[in-house]
Structure 1
C-alpha cells in the first residue's frame, strides 16, 4: 500500500519511527515532511498528505503532531479525505469500519509509541463495513464547504 506520511516538528520523531515500521511492513512510504525538529506549521504537512490522498496519489495517509488535533482539522478540509484522530485502538477501528477513514492522525506527545504502533496496525487491517455507513459517507462528501 502507498501511504503518505507527514508531521510537524512536534511529531517528527514518531513520524520517523512510523516510516521505518511502514517500510518494514512492505508499504511504500511517501514522506511529505517535515524533515527535522526545526519549528514548522502543521497545516503545511497536513495539506500535502491530504492532497496526496484526495488526488489518489496515496491510498492512505498518516499525520503526526503533538496532539493530532491540528492535523485532523486540517486534513478534513480536503474533499474526499476522512481523517480520524485515533488515540486508541477503538478509535482507529471505528474510524475505518464506520467512516471509511483514509487518514490516521496521531499525537506524539499524548500516545505512547508502542500503542501508536498497535493503532497503526489496527487502522491498516480494519475494513470499511459499508452498508448503512455508505449513506452517511455520501452525506459527508456532499456537504457544502467541503475542502480543498
Structure 2
C-alpha cells in the first residue's frame, strides 16, 4: 500500500480531511502531518515537515494545503528535492506530473472547492511522468545553475 503525506495550516484543515478520506477510499495510507484544528499556525512548519517526509523516503508523494497555496508551496520548494506544484484544476495537476514530475500537490483551500480539489487529486495520482524532453529540465530543478550563460548546472 502506498503512503501519501498530507500537511496543512489552519486554513486547510477541512480540505485536508476531505482529501484524506478520498485517499483512503482509493486504497492509500495517509500520513497526516497536521495541523488538525482552527488555531492559527505557521504554514512553513507544516511545509517543512512534508518536505522532510518526502526527502527521507518516508513517503513518495505529498499534498500540501494553505489558504492560497502560495505560502506553503514556497516553503516546500526551498528543499531542492521537492517539486511542489500549486494547482487550480485537473489540467494543471496533470501537467505538473507529466512535465515536471511534481512530488507534492499544493492546493489553496480558499481558492478552490471540494470537487475541483478532488479532480486535482485524481489527476495528480493517476498521471505518470513523461520524462523524455522534460528530463533535463526537471534535473535542473534540483540543482541551481552555474553562473555560465549556457545554463549548465554546477552539481
The Cα shift of 1:59 comes to 1.0
Normalising to structure 1: TM-score of the pair? 0.94
The alignment yields a C-alpha RMSD, in angstroms, of 0.9
Correspondence for 1:39:
40
**In the alignment, does 2:148 pair up with 1:142?**
no
Any stretches of 5+ residues in structure 2 without a counterpart?
A: 146-155
Higher RCO (CA-CA < 8 Å; seq separation 6+): 1
Correspondence for 2:60:
59
**In the alignment, does 2:75 pair up with 1:92?**
no
CA contact (8 A) 1:32 1:45 kept: yes
2:6 aligns to what SS in structure 1? Answer: strand
Normalising to structure 2: TM-score of the pair? 0.90
Could you tell me how far apart the structure 2 residues matched to 1:90 and 1:118 are?
A: 9
Could you tell me how far apart the structure 1 residues matched to 2:52 and 2:80 are?
A: 9
CA contact (8 A) 1:9 1:36 kept: yes
Structure 1 consecutive aligned stretches of length 4 or more whose deviation exceeds 3 Å: none
